[in-house]
Structure 1
Amino acid sequence: MMADTLEYSDITSEVRGVLTPGRLKLTDQHIIFKNSKTGKVEQIAADDIELINSQKFVGTWGLRIFTKNGGLYRFSGFRDSENEKLGKFLKKAYKQDMVEKEMCVKGWNWGTARFLGSALSFDKDSKTIFEIPLQHVSQCMTGKNEVTLEFHQSDDAPVGLLEMRFHIPAVESAEEDPVESFQNNVMSKASVISASGDAIAIFREIHCLTPRGRYDIKIFSTFFQLHGKTFDYKIPMDSVLRLFLLPHKDNRQMFLVLSLDPPIKQGQTRYHFLVLLFGPEEETSIELPFSEEELKEKYEGKIEKELSGPLYEVMGKVMKVLIGRKITGPGNFIGHSGTAAIGCSFKAAAGYLYPLERGFIYIHKPPVHIRFEEIASVNFARSGGSTRSFDFEITLKNGTVHIFSSIEKEEYAKLFDYIQQKKLRVSNIGKDKGGYNDVDFGDSDNENEPDAYLARVKAEAREKESDDEEGSEEESTDEDFKPNEAESDVAEEYDSNVQSDSEDSDA
């Protein structure tokens, strides 16, 4: 009996000219690809599949999937032995025959350009020489008998295609200019950002920590614009991977963080995160340019026509609904300071580390987001020769080590309990050591020796916590971070069990 799902852990997907590694899962309802680097999930519904081909790649073979809305997806890295099994599954689950896509390898540079959905196919004698997903096109310009395509660049590509020129001979009998017709076909599907109509919402003079400055943020239907005194950025909505709303350690200011892929560029600098800072007194009220019927039809009633309240809350809600991403909050972790933020240093700058439900995020210079699935182990170590602080080291599966230093020793017990609760591997715990009372808090060379320093740190931390608890009845404590009660149960959306963004459940 054939399995209801097929899973492949070492498949690559073409993303802007780069073969990006990830996991591919095929069910009778969806084809799901999860990017190993970013955690981003691409989902193709079974009902949307128009055509599936097998296609030869260098040293391997893969799938070419064409959707009814014109989308083109390519996945490679399958073994030859999987061909028959995969073909039978596609036939049963999607009613699709896996026909091989023949390519022209003669090396000719002339042929026929065909526009198929959101792809441009350059063919000779019914065989394809190459094809281009038009969403990779950033600009299309024309000259006499000539069309030039410019492409979005990927920072991960060692070599990138910048532009391509097509010579199109004039045809006297043609009713329409072939050059203009070619350009129109490209522009109708290209990822060219141009403002059409008025902005849906405008937020003035927003304090941005990265890239630094104050920007007017204009939100359109497919992108949003950051307009500053010196720089101007236009960011497609689908470039936003995640949204984070995090309280400052002072429990007054708020950070709104947007994770971007691809990043925005300022000269040679790449910004993978936008970090916005909001003060406690900043409030706003806006009215969206939609009727009640349009709001129900476009956004399923998730947002009201009139919004008012703290600026971070209004802007966060607009971003969440228009971008279609959940907002991730700080989770249940509360540190010694009574907030979700742990003060520390990363590289040469001071900032805050936030333990989340499924990862960590550090802000703000530079911002770093680490998912649990990327982590190989964590380590607690002394901060130099200091007895008042410690370092928290995170080792990733790719070998990268992030060191968050100068953390107050009072945070140790809370952070260790969090690590144990999340079942993360602590590299300086011996196999026969079960709790944090036995953690060797020093150099790896002395793992089996008693550590008087560690014992003193833990004792002082417990004593400090006890003192805080005794005095807590006399003091008013801030409530847990809940900018919106109905949405306080936040989660990140990169679980392989993908669901619709219309539900605020774990995806």
Structure 2
Amino acid sequence: MNLDNMEFSGASVETRGVLVPGRLSLNNQGLVFRNSKTGKSIIVPPSEWEKTIWMRIAGSYGLKIFTKSGPMYRFAGFKDSDFESLSRFLKKNYQKELKEEDKSIKGWNWGSIKFNGDVMSFQVDRQTAFDLPLSYVQNCTTGKNEAVLEFHPNEDASVALMEMRFYIPQEGAEGDPLESFHQNVIEKADMVQATGDALMSLNEVPCLTPRGRYELKVYPTFLQLHGKTFDYKITYSSVLRIFILPHSDGRQMFFVLSLDPPIKQGQTRYPFLVLNFKKDEDPIEVELEITEKELKDKYDGRLEKHLSGQTYEVLGRVMKGLVNRKITVPGSFKGVSGSCVACSYKAAAGLLYPLDRGFIYVHKPAIYVRFDEISAVNFARGGGNTRSFDFEIETRNGLVHTFSSIQKEEYYKLFDFVNGKDLKVKNRGDKEEVSGRQKMEEFVDSDEDTEHDAYLQRVKNEANSRDDEDEEDEDFKPEGEESDVAEEFDSEASETDEEEEGADPDSPKKDKEKKKKKKKKSKDYADEVGAESRKKSHKSKEGKKEKDPDMPKRPLSAYMYWLNDRREQIKKDNPGISVTDIAKKGGELWKTLTDKDKKKYDDMATEAKKDYDSKMKVYEQKRKSKDDADDAKKSTKSGKSSSTAKGSPQKAAKSAEFILTDEDTSSSEDEKAKDSKKEAKRKTPDTDSD
């Protein structure tokens, strides 16, 4: 491990009771932690460090840093073996000593409270039981001898601490310990309360997300939106990024704030605040309600007391000074619609802005994707429309954003922009990745007519003629007499002729009803069989076109012959020209040529066309002879099968007079036995009994 730069890829930072994963590194800047979820970086320079503590936490070890300005940072994800190397690194590079801290594990709920900057520590027998950052507190109330702390909710936490109560005895204490506790908490707590005057306010500001018109008030620690139905308060610590984006019509401007945690109303979350301003509205002048001393001491010259300009410009400068973050504007991308690309996300139309470090889509819903989150992008055809295409962004966690209905003219600029940012271009339709030039030619040639396939047309005509032939089923007669064969779904299929003969002759109505039922069932069966056959024939007609490899290739046009000759010269005359711009430049030069200059290439195209026509004639003749040979083979096979069927031996039929049933044979044997007994009695002489 290099001591000049130490990294821990499996580290995490504690934020309101949740461990957020990321990457921690120690370098010349100090301690830098990059959030893998939001991309937000925490930088703590060594000059701000007051104490560095090594502590034992559940399942692993952690690092706790107290700063001189007040905040405390806690990091987890370390091993026991990291203590020695980390201690040497801090002592050598930052001259800081890493101390070990033992926590109180007695489980007592009484002890003493100590305030250290923005942190409140609860100690038992001079050992720390727990540390509580006061920035987690949103309210503090006191009673007779009790103080109640209420905490900010964290929706990312499966189990969250919402309230904590302290009993503070006042007997024998100097002064009022309860009031002292309350004041220490209030000074450092992150309490969103509209106390004092707002720095500036704007009336009837149109907001796209959340939708409506709001009165906007800017306070030193938070931003307030007051509407007719809902109110929102946004703390500056939750603002990740600030965007100012021009609309494609040139008359509107979007002011966008990226938020984490997002504001919410009920079960709806809003991770972006999108305001809409008119570009040509009258400029405003604002005087901030703040003293010159506060501007210098608290904001270090980031704010000015007097501001003037367009509304979105003034608001951007104020938010930049309060939040202490840069404003992101469109970069070098210039498309047909300006710095954005008109498209649709799902069912909503919007604008996609390619920025220097990511893509942002405005506005429903607003989406921001950083380049380091993207695994690949894909250019796909729109659903059956050759005048537009889809742009897909696939992130590393498997999420895919599809922006559809992009005009074909935007493809060249967007493709060059993606290549310039070294993003991987992926083609989902093929097994292998397709180069940028091949993908460009697919879009450029998309309007050309498909090649005529004579053999395929002939097969289609034969299929249509076969479908038009009317074939009757000998056994099935839906419109005529009833079929003698009972269908498998017929409930009366098991009835025999004997049962029909034994029917009541005086009930003709029943016979008519039975006949009607049979006719109805046979008709339903005919409809099912007809529908099934139509489906099969329809599927066979919709088979995909397969190109014959023996078919001659279509000839090149005069322009393509000229472009192949001039391609290298165009590259020399325009060093660094992209592949997509060569076709554009060639088209412009081709238009400037005279008929005399084009004659050479026109003759080449004419000769190629003649050669193609002659080859097509030979190809069609070969194809026809091959088809005739195949038909002859089929007819020969069918003739052999029919002759075999005729020559098969048949069994000889016996006369009915030679056939005896089992009953006849048994009855004749009984009669013979009776006759033999009678004859025996006659022959036996009569004897007298004694």
Name the TM-score class by shorter chain: 0.7 to 0.9
> 2:240, 2:258 within 8 Å by CA — same for their partners in 1?
yes
- Secondary structure of the 1:439 match is helix
How far apart in 2 are the matches of 1:163 and 1:304?
40
- Deviation, 1:322, is 2.3
2:47 is equivalent to residue 39 of structure 1:
no
Q: Which amino acid aligns with 2:265?
A: Q
Q: Which amino acid aligns with 2:159?
A: V
How far apart in 1 are the matches of 2:92 and 2:38?
32
- Deviation, 1:207, is 0.6
- Give 1:456's match in structure 2, choosing from 436, 446, 450: 446
- Deviation, 1:173, is 2.1
- Give CA-to-partner distance per residue, 1:69-88, whole Å, 9 cap, x none: 22211111123332211110
Q: Which amino acid aligns with 1:48?
A: E
**TM-score of the pair, normalised by structure 2:** 0.62
2:262 is equivalent to residue 272 of structure 1:
no
- Deviation, 1:357, is 0.4
The total of aligned residue pairs comes to 457
2:124 is equivalent to residue 124 of structure 1:
yes
2:26 is equivalent to residue 26 of structure 1:
yes
Percent identity between matched residues is 54
Query: How do 1:24-173 and structure 2 match up within 5 A?
Result: 24-168=24-168, 170-173=169-172
148 and 398 in structure 1: CA distance in 2 versus 1, 3 angstrom threshold: same
74 and 457 in structure 1: CA distance in 2 versus 1, 3 angstrom threshold: farther
- Give CA-to-partner distance per residue, 1:11-68, whole Å, 9 cap, x none: 1000111101112121254211111111111111211111111111222112011111
- Deviation, 1:452, is 5.3
- Give CA-to-partner distance per residue, 1:243-287, whole Å, 9 cap, x none: 000011111100000111121121221211110001133232222
**TM-score of the pair, normalised by structure 1:** 0.83
- Deviation, 1:454, is 6.6
How far apart in 2 are the matches of 1:166 and 1:299?
36
- Secondary structure of the 2:81 match is helix
> 1:433, 1:439 within 8 Å by CA — same for their partners in 2?
no
25 and 191 in structure 1: CA distance in 2 versus 1, 3 angstrom threshold: same
413 and 370 in structure 1: CA distance in 2 versus 1, 3 angstrom threshold: same
> 2:148, 2:166 within 8 Å by CA — same for their partners in 1?
yes
RMSD of equivalent CA atoms? 2.9
How far apart in 2 are the matches of 1:388 and 1:335?
16
2:376 is equivalent to residue 377 of structure 1:
yes
How far apart in 1 are the matches of 2:588 and 2:225?
45
Larger strand percent? 1
What residue is the counterpart of 2:192 in the other structure? 193
What residue is the counterpart of 1:345 in the other structure? 344
- Deviation, 1:298, is 5.0
- Secondary structure of the 1:86 match is helix
How far apart in 1 are the matches of 2:151 and 2:179?
19
Q: Which amino acid aligns with 1:328?
A: T
Query: How do 1:303-382 and structure 2 match up within 5 A?
Result: 303-337=303-337, 339-382=338-381
Gaps of 5+ in 2: 449-559, 561-579, 590-690
Query: How do 1:212-223 and structure 2 match up within 5 A?
Result: 212-223=211-222
What residue is the counterpart of 2:402 in the other structure? 403
- Give CA-to-partner distance per residue, 1:356-376, whole Å, 9 cap, x none: 001000111111111111111
- Deviation, 1:384, is 2.4
- Deviation, 1:213, is 1.1
> 2:427, 2:434 within 8 Å by CA — same for their partners in 1?
no
Gaps of 5+ in 1: 441-450, 471-507
How far apart in 2 are the matches of 1:218 and 1:468?
56
How far apart in 2 are the matches of 1:251 and 1:277?
13
- Secondary structure of the 1:10 match is coil
- Deviation, 1:415, is 0.9
How far apart in 2 are the matches of 1:405 and 1:369?
17
How far apart in 1 are the matches of 2:271 and 2:173?
47
What residue is the counterpart of 1:8 in the other structure? 8
2:236 is equivalent to residue 237 of structure 1:
yes
- Deviation, 1:383, is 2.3
2:208 is equivalent to residue 209 of structure 1:
yes
How far apart in 2 are the matches of 1:102 and 1:116?
18
Q: Which amino acid aligns with 2:244?
A: L
What residue is the counterpart of 1:438 in the other structure? 438
- Give CA-to-partner distance per residue, 1:83-137, whole Å, 9 cap, x none: 2111101112232221112112233333222222211212212222222111011
- Secondary structure of the 1:320 match is helix
- Deviation, 1:193, is 1.9
> 1:121, 1:132 within 8 Å by CA — same for their partners in 2?
yes
What residue is the counterpart of 2:224 in the other structure? 225
- Deviation, 1:466, is 8.0
How far apart in 1 are the matches of 2:135 and 2:10?
25
> 1:239, 1:260 within 8 Å by CA — same for their partners in 2?
yes
149 and 419 in structure 1: CA distance in 2 versus 1, 3 angstrom threshold: same
